[in-house]
Structure 1
Amino acid sequence: MEKEVVKRFEPIIQRINSGNKLLHVWEIKGGISAQVWGLEVLQPNGQKQKMIVRQHGDNDYFRNPNIAADEFRLLELLDCEGILVPKPFYLDQSGVIFTRPFLVMEFIDGKNDFNPTNVRDYISQLANHLANIHRVDISKLDVSFLPLQNEICIELLNRKSDNSLNEYLMQQYLKSGIPLSKKNQDVILHGDFWPGNILWKDGKLVAVIDWEDAAIGDPLSDLANGRLEVLFKFGIEAMNEFTSTYQSLMPQIDYTDLPYWELFAALRLSVFTEWGLDKQIEKVMREKHEWFVTHAFTRMNKGG
Structure 2
Amino acid sequence: MDEKWTYLVHKMNPSDKLLRAWELKGGISAQVTALELESPCGAKKKVVVREHGQADLKRNPQIASDEFKLLQILKSAGLPTPTPYHLERSGEFFPAPCVVIEFIEGQTEAAPDDLSSYLQQIAAVLTRIHAVDTCLLAGTILPNQEEAIAEKLRKRPANLDKSLDEGLIREVLESVWPLPSSNWATLLHGDFWPGNTMWKEGQLAVVIDWEDAAIGDPLSDLGNARLEILWAFGVAAMNDFTLYYQAAMKTLDYTHLPYWDLCAAMRPASNLSYWGLEKSTEKTMRERHSQFVMQACEKLGIPYKRHATYKGLE
**TM-score, normalising length from structure 2?**
0.91
* CA deviation vs aligned residue, 1:183-208 (integer Å, no higher than 9, x gap): 10111101111111110111110010
**Offset, 1:234:** 0.2
* CA deviation vs aligned residue, 1:37-63 (integer Å, no higher than 9, x gap): 111111244321110011011221222
More deviation, 88-97/203-212? 88-97
**Offset, 1:152:** 1.4
Give distance in 1, aligned partners of 2:161 and 2:102.
40
Give distance in 2, aligned partners of 1:168 and 1:185.
30
1:36 matched residue in structure 2: 32
CA 1:169–1:143 in 2, change beyond 3 Å: closer, same or farther? farther
Residue type at the aligned position of 2:178: P
2:75 matched residue in structure 1: 79
1:109 paired with 2:105, answer: yes
**Offset, 1:144:** 4.7
SS at structure 2 position matched to 1:213: coil
1:277 matched residue in structure 2: 277
1:126 matched residue in structure 2: 122
SS at structure 2 position matched to 1:207: strand
Residue type at the aligned position of 2:91: G
Give distance in 1, aligned partners of 2:273 and 2:263.
17
1:166 paired with 2:165, answer: yes
Residue type at the aligned position of 1:79: K
Residue type at the aligned position of 1:228: L
1:57 paired with 2:53, answer: yes
Q: Identity over the aligned pairs, expressed in percent? A: 48
1:24 paired with 2:24, answer: no
Residue type at the aligned position of 1:257: H
Compute the RMSD of aligned alpha carbons. 1.4
**Offset, 1:8:** 2.7
CA contact (8 A) 1:156 1:268 kept: no
SS at structure 2 position matched to 1:89: strand
CA 1:275–1:152 in 2, change beyond 3 Å: closer, same or farther? same
SS at structure 2 position matched to 1:142: helix
Residue type at the aligned position of 2:169: M
SS at structure 1 position matched to 2:85: strand
Give distance in 2, aligned partners of 1:172 and 1:18.
57
2:307 matched residue in structure 1: none
* CA deviation vs aligned residue, 1:135-187 (integer Å, no higher than 9, x gap): 10113431550000012102332242332211011111101102211110111
**TM-score, normalising length from structure 1?**
0.94
The gaps in structure 2 that reach 5 residues or longer are: 303-314
1:248 paired with 2:247, answer: yes
Give distance in 2, aligned partners of 1:159 and 1:70.
29
